[in-house]
Structure 1
Amino acid sequence: MASFLDRVLALAVALTVALSPVTAAADPEQRYANPVSAPAADTFADPAVIRGKDGLWYAFGTGDPLRRGEHDHRLLPIMRSADLTRWEYVTDVFTQASRPRWAAHGAGLWAPDIRYVDGRYLLYFTVTDTVLNEGGDAAVGGATAPSPSGPWTALDAPVVPPVPGDQGRFWSILDPAMLTDTDGKRWLYYGSYYGGLFVVPLSEDGTRMIGAATRIAIGDRYEGAYAVRKNGWYYLFASSANCCVGPATGYSVFAGRSRFPTGPFVDRDGVSLLGSRTGGTPVVQQNGNRWIGTGHNSVVTDAAGQDWLVYHGIDRSDPYLNEPHGVNMRPMLLDRLDWIDGWPTVRAGAGASTGRQRAPVTSGVVDDRFDRTAIGPGWQPSLPGWKVESGLLRHVSPGQNKLWSLESLPTNAFIELDVRVGGVAGVSVGGTTVLVDRQSAALVTDVPGRGARRTPLPASFRHEAWHSLTIRVRDGALTASVTDARLGDPVSEQSRDLPHHMEDSFALIARGAAELDNVSVARLAQPVWRPEPTPRPGRLDRTASDEFDGALGDGWTWVRADPSATVRGGSLHWPAQAADVVGNNNNAGVLLRDPPRGDYVVETRLDLDLDEGTVRNFQQAGLIAYANDDDFARLSHVAIWNTRQVEFGRELPHAGRLVYGQVTLTAPATTTWLRLAHSVDPMSGEHRFRGGVSVDGVHWNWGGTWVFPAGVAPRVGLVAHGGDVPVVAAAFAYFRVYRGS
């Protein structure tokens, strides 16, 4: 706690020293708009972001061409930003001469993940083909650099080597992402379709796998893994569906969580990501606006402690970079990531944003990178032992000293700084000290009247390397974390209750040799607790509904009638046809009726036993919104190899071809309730259909939205098709239409 003399001195200096830009508060109304990569790149897929030790943000992307008119694929492009919203292109990670020697000629370099490990930057990335086997075998590569902008040196061997014959597993060694756990162990997540998601232990320096892979998600459902630790849980983010089908792309992000970095991961409903009926809680899915294919994410935290999802999306009206059906144009998007009832969701469930949004906070009431030659304004005149040189703050005294800020600590505050410790370094927050202590190898907090507490740092912790110390203060509680680089993977964490009455003082503390940099104090972001509303059925329209309690009711019409569909025992029984409506065959039956005007919700209860022990590609049944055979959206319980999922598929014509893609929803059951919520955009007149699923008829999970052009509304109805071996029949208990949504 500052003495009375200290505070008087600080106030006197504050009256004579004008605030510099590094101590001025950020504009709370600063705004941005997606795509944030637009100034630097037309496409920037699979983005991974880190805040460098120089205080700037760096983004790494997949090796597509960056601009329209370009056709050469980049060798992992890098962008840089001071505020997360305005980006500039810097360079590529590799040149043709420096790319990995073991990568095959013409191999793609995809899906990078950036980390800071023991004083250097470490980049992981997919190499789609190597010279190490017979070809067609993907691997995870690595590279190191002294700064995010390079120069980058490729590792001599893959971090995760290829599997011989991997082409039969559809490049299952893809999309790496690293995490450091609370024991200081390094883990690498990777995987894709036809293989599944895996996690492997890494060497201490993060450059090679040192143990067997553990499967954490079943094949056919997820890729693009990314993990963070929050509130004692490890959260696994993963993307589902096809990333790149132009205007039919339904790629989206889901999450599961576990107490352990190796799983098992389960979703909000307790459903495992390893089950055939694969779990996953939606994080972001397309919402009917400009953006579709919203997926492959990383997570960053701003100076106010607010998390943000960095991901890519596709503009549904402009989906390709150059020619139609070529490279999908996937610019980088940024949106607020909320945690509601313990689960991550973008903008409280509203999804990707369009228009001006409140920007991340990237500077606070204190914001100092020490890029000058003296202590400077904003701080009490320096006591002996402190000096600024080489762009950082050094403490060189054997004794303990404090450097007091002239700014008052906000009531709820987020504090962050980088430390490199020879003795002790940290902060005083309202009289409570938070320190990284080399001698005791611990994160140490000392609360006035409540004593000191030590939380060990990992045995592998290198105090001479930079680490980030962050402190959250909210409503009388303090949480302190030590990470490599603020990427949601603390190696040590501690929470304390604070006294009811605290000083509003803030100071840096050091004893012995220490270096500090990138010091920030900002008002802690206010969390969002309430989710955005989801569709709610209105009044049941009995004239538009059918309870299937006799013969098929009035109002139904067939496209290719199927005589095997019969009403009996209070249900419509319909054996899945060996037929489909995807592509050019168009030989499956579709049972339809005219929709009501305006907003409405259609619902059915579906009994469909797609047993999990057999491959049943692509048997399915469910609801459909149908304009014609080449323009429809189908919400169905479907079998994909051994996976059972609810899929909201979309087929439409584009530039002389038919394209088909899908949004996946949460896990189905043998009895599954399905809903389509229809609304009309008041500005464009477009028809929007959002899919919903329930396994009890009471609790609903809502997924993505598909859009149809303005004009005549699509009809709605039922389908059951995809194959008849082995034989399976769908039973629809009813078809109900509710007015309003």
Structure 2
Amino acid sequence: MTRVTPLSAVLLLAPLLAVGAATPATSATAETSEPPPTYSNPLAPTVADGGTVDSCADPAVLQGQGDEAGSWYLYCTTDPLNDAETSGPGDPVFHPVPTMRSDDLVSWEYVGDALPQRPAWAAPSAFLWAPDVVHSRTHDRYYLTYVVTDTADAVSGEPGCTSDSAIGVAVSDSPTGPWTPSDEPLVGPRRAGPGCDFYWTYDPDVLGDSVDDTAVLYFGSYYGGVFGQHVALTADGISTTGQPTRVTLGQRVEPKVDPADLRRPTQPDLDAAEQGAATQVSIGNRYEGTNVVRRGDWYYLFGSATNCCAGPLTGYTVFAGRSRSPLGPFVDREGSSLLAGRVGGTPVISMNGNRWVGTGHSSAFRDTSGRWWLAYHAVDRDDPYFAGRPGFTKRPALLDPLAWVDGWPSVRSGRWASDEPVPGPAAQPGQVSAYRPDPVDPDRTGRLLPAYSDEFGGERLADRWTWVRRPDPATYRVAGGRFRFATQAADLYVDSNTASVLTEPAPTGDYVVQTKVSLDVPAEGCCHNYVQAGLVVRRSDDAFVKLGHASIWETRQTEWAKEVPAAPPSFPRYGNSVVGAPGDETWLRIVRRTRDGAEHYTAYTSQGGRRWVRGGVWTHELGPGARIGLVSMGGAGFTATFDHVRVWRLE
């Protein structure tokens, strides 16, 4: 058990108390019939010098309590506020946990930095990331949890390390501080191996907005996984109680990925017998920035997947699983567990083809009328980096209504990030938002195109198929209505273009292309990086979109990737997202649609060919000469079996 402040034995045994999805303010506020204002993304809090806050990564939203009940607060990870703080000749200006205030949830003002001084146990090089704030009704105090990216040598026990991260807590009587940090970590560095090998102890999230004196703390990231930990709140801090519960399994080797953060939830109802149970909730190398909320009898885990910070090719996406317990097991809409190697997750928001990509690290909350909203950060693909700092991704805060479709959360009923005026939330009692859900129209297949479709009958490939880098004929064959293709120790990735691709012409206009693939990589276990098989639409080796069943550390995922042939210095050429869980057989669809003169490619996956999981939209310029292709690559020793390729007109 880790302690930050002393606790009595009675307090340690106290059960968690149930809390609604969003707790009303504790003091009365005047009701108003004035309708909420309309707003447009991104949120742009004003700064006293006349500027705006143009980057607010990992946004966490909290309604004030008591005397602050009429105000809302927004907390962001440590970053510059805007381009003015990066464009000069000196070092960028970093604000440690910028704090914003609003009366209407759409017009915000910057009110200062929560932690102008690092805690005493942080190393001088530490950054403070991923804030989350919760209020205790019992103590009438606010608790700020945050990441310290680098702890002092005396804390980690390993001199000279910069990756020995930990979770801190600070306490205040006000949501704007001043904050008093604890004198030691709430969750200390977690050793993964000898030397400077520490798991990523990131992204704290306390279950609840206003709680009593117990809650659940979530923390962790890709490397080491995400855990749930029962905690107790005192007037001076937070202490962990019982054993940590694994929420996601971590990957075995520290990944070369710059993560983001996490967000916040509602609160549980557990009896004392459940406290201290160690329960794994989700597998690793899939989720970070977790935020757990309660709605009715369900706990919903929101987790962000893939890279947060790849500029215009950021495919960061929020997924959800749900459970009757705050510690899982969480499963998605299709019944796939977030613990499985073929990891589950139902998309909540991804890129939709407008300027917003990298939609992730979310904070779900309810307004005063009970409507749900999602605050999250995104990347403007037309303005992805801080001025003068190419490669330093700018992540403004966005806000959109969250619908519940058949019990599952979906931003704007599947329309996802807005880039047009939206009726705002009800921030004050008596208000009602004018927003009404308008579900996205599903993509439907039209007329089958036999000239582009193949059931793989006979014993040879049809004449329309041609190879890019023809493989050894012994590694592929057509038989029994299947095309079998051995995985190759080769790849298609930036300048490593060694894999064979079986291609046919793509039709002109809008279409849907589908295949069903079986990949005999074991469903569980590590590691067969990055064995994969699936579908591509390509103009060249360096201009394509790719959807495939891929083995990634302990996980099996459906990767949805985009590569461009050229990019300015410090810009990426390859970006990826993920879609639904693969199965023994995985149906893969790519929908090509022209919208406003641009080519939009949408991914779909299915485990049975009937219920489909819709993924994000990549925009690309593949042109009229694009070709459909099949790949089986990433490592030798396995076989991909393709049941068919079918192409339809888009209805």
Q: By the TM > 0.5 criterion, same fold?
A: yes
Corresponding position of 1:643 = 555
Q: Identify if the C-alpha distance between structure 1 residues 713 and 663 changes in structure 2 by more than 3 Å, giving closer, same or farther.
A: farther
Aligned with residue 68 of structure 1, among 72, 83, 107: 83
* Kept in 2: contact 1:124–1:140 (CA 8 A): yes
1:361 aligns to 2:382 (yes or no): no
1:106 aligns to 2:134 (yes or no): no
2:112 counterpart SS class: strand
Corresponding position of 1:610 = 521
Corresponding position of 1:734 = 644
Q: Map 1:276-315; keep pairs closer than 5 Å.
A: 276-315=341-380
Structure 2 Cα separation of the partners of residues 183 and 156 of structure 1: 23
* Kept in 2: contact 1:305–1:525 (CA 8 A): no
Summarize deviations over 1:669-690 as a string: whole Å, max 9, x none.
1211100011011x2x111111
* Kept in 2: contact 1:324–1:655 (CA 8 A): no
Summarize deviations over 1:225-267 as a string: whole Å, max 9, x none.
1111111111111111111111111101111111111111111
**Aligned AA for 1:204?**
L
1:208 counterpart SS class: strand
Q: Identify if the C-alpha distance between structure 1 residues 325 and 650 changes in structure 2 by more than 3 Å, giving closer, same or farther.
A: farther
Q: Map 1:481-630; keep pairs closer than 5 Å.
A: 520-523=429-432, 528=437, 531-550=439-458, 551-563=460-472, 564-611=475-522, 612-630=524-542
Structure 2 Cα separation of the partners of residues 27 and 183 of structure 1: 32
Structure 2 Cα separation of the partners of residues 271 and 546 of structure 1: 30
Q: Identify if the C-alpha distance between structure 1 residues 208 and 37 changes in structure 2 by more than 3 Å, giving closer, same or farther.
A: farther
**Aligned AA for 1:532?**
V
* Kept in 2: contact 1:576–1:619 (CA 8 A): yes
**Aligned AA for 2:508?**
R
Summarize deviations over 1:160-181 as a string: whole Å, max 9, x none.
1111357876742111100159
Structure 2 Cα separation of the partners of residues 555 and 283 of structure 1: 39
* Kept in 1: contact 2:35–2:432 (CA 8 A): no
Q: Map 1:71-90; keep pairs closer than 5 Å.
A: 71-90=92-111
1:704 aligns to 2:616 (yes or no): yes
Structure 1 position 524, deviation (Å): 8.2
Structure 2 Cα separation of the partners of residues 581 and 710 of structure 1: 16
Aligned with residue 670 of structure 1, among 568, 584, 598: 584
Structure 1 position 523, deviation (Å): 4.8
The count of corresponding residues between Structure 1 and Structure 2 is 557
**Aligned AA for 1:582?**
Y
* Kept in 1: contact 2:222–2:285 (CA 8 A): yes
Structure 2 Cα separation of the partners of residues 554 and 243 of structure 1: 43
* Kept in 2: contact 1:686–1:710 (CA 8 A): no
Structure 2 Cα separation of the partners of residues 171 and 716 of structure 1: 41
Structure 1 position 23, deviation (Å): 4.9
Corresponding position of 2:295 = 230
Structure 2 Cα separation of the partners of residues 614 and 91 of structure 1: 45
**Aligned AA for 2:644?**
Y
2:446 counterpart SS class: coil
Summarize deviations over 1:62-94 as a string: whole Å, max 9, x none.
101111132122211111111111112111112
Corresponding position of 2:170 = 143
1:695 aligns to 2:617 (yes or no): no
Structure 1 Cα separation of the partners of residues 325 and 333 of structure 2: 16
Structure 1 position 150, deviation (Å): 1.1
Structure 2 Cα separation of the partners of residues 324 and 625 of structure 1: 33
**Aligned AA for 2:240?**
M
Summarize deviations over 1:582-614 as a string: whole Å, max 9, x none.
131211112222221221100001011210234
Corresponding position of 1:185 = 214
Q: Identify if the C-alpha distance between structure 1 residues 317 and 561 changes in structure 2 by more than 3 Å, giving closer, same or farther.
A: farther
Corresponding position of 2:275 = none
Q: Identify if the C-alpha distance between structure 1 residues 165 and 543 changes in structure 2 by more than 3 Å, giving closer, same or farther.
A: closer
Aligned with residue 134 of structure 2, among 115, 122, 125: 115
**Aligned AA for 1:571?**
R
Structure 1 Cα separation of the partners of residues 295 and 545 of structure 2: 37
Corresponding position of 1:27 = 35
Structure 2 Cα separation of the partners of residues 170 and 282 of structure 1: 30
Structure 1 Cα separation of the partners of residues 432 and 423 of structure 2: 15
Q: Identify if the C-alpha distance between structure 1 residues 170 and 573 changes in structure 2 by more than 3 Å, giving closer, same or farther.
A: farther
Unaligned runs of 5+ in 2: 1-28, 47-51, 86-91, 247-280
Q: Identify if the C-alpha distance between structure 1 residues 525 and 210 changes in structure 2 by more than 3 Å, giving closer, same or farther.
A: farther
**Aligned AA for 1:734?**
H
1:220 counterpart SS class: coil
Q: Identify if the C-alpha distance between structure 1 residues 184 and 105 changes in structure 2 by more than 3 Å, giving closer, same or farther.
A: closer
1:680 aligns to 2:629 (yes or no): no
Corresponding position of 1:456 = none
Structure 2 Cα separation of the partners of residues 157 and 639 of structure 1: 39
Structure 1 Cα separation of the partners of residues 97 and 512 of structure 2: 45
Q: TM-score, normalised by structure 1?
A: 0.72
1:44 aligns to 2:59 (yes or no): no
* Kept in 2: contact 1:41–1:66 (CA 8 A): yes
Unaligned runs of 5+ in 1: 1-20, 364-519
CA RMSD of aligned residues (A): 2.1
- Aligned residues with identical type, % of pairs: 45
Q: Identify if the C-alpha distance between structure 1 residues 169 and 219 changes in structure 2 by more than 3 Å, giving closer, same or farther.
A: farther
Structure 1 Cα separation of the partners of residues 386 and 623 of structure 2: 29
1:538 counterpart SS class: strand
**Aligned AA for 1:123?**
L
- Between 1:245-254 and 1:584-593, the stretch displaced more is 584-593
Corresponding position of 2:417 = 352
* Kept in 1: contact 2:351–2:617 (CA 8 A): yes
Structure 2 Cα separation of the partners of residues 85 and 24 of structure 1: 17
Q: TM-score, normalised by structure 2?
A: 0.82
**Aligned AA for 1:212?**
Q
1:69 counterpart SS class: helix
**Aligned AA for 2:44?**
S
1:213 aligns to 2:244 (yes or no): yes
Structure 2 Cα separation of the partners of residues 183 and 145 of structure 1: 16
* Kept in 1: contact 2:32–2:430 (CA 8 A): no
Q: Identify if the C-alpha distance between structure 1 residues 640 and 325 changes in structure 2 by more than 3 Å, giving closer, same or farther.
A: farther
2:319 counterpart SS class: strand
Structure 2 Cα separation of the partners of residues 540 and 559 of structure 1: 26
2:451 counterpart SS class: helix
Q: Which has the larger radius of gyration?
A: 1
**Aligned AA for 1:329?**
K
Structure 1 position 521, deviation (Å): 3.0
Structure 2 Cα separation of the partners of residues 628 and 667 of structure 1: 28
Structure 2 Cα separation of the partners of residues 525 and 213 of structure 1: 42
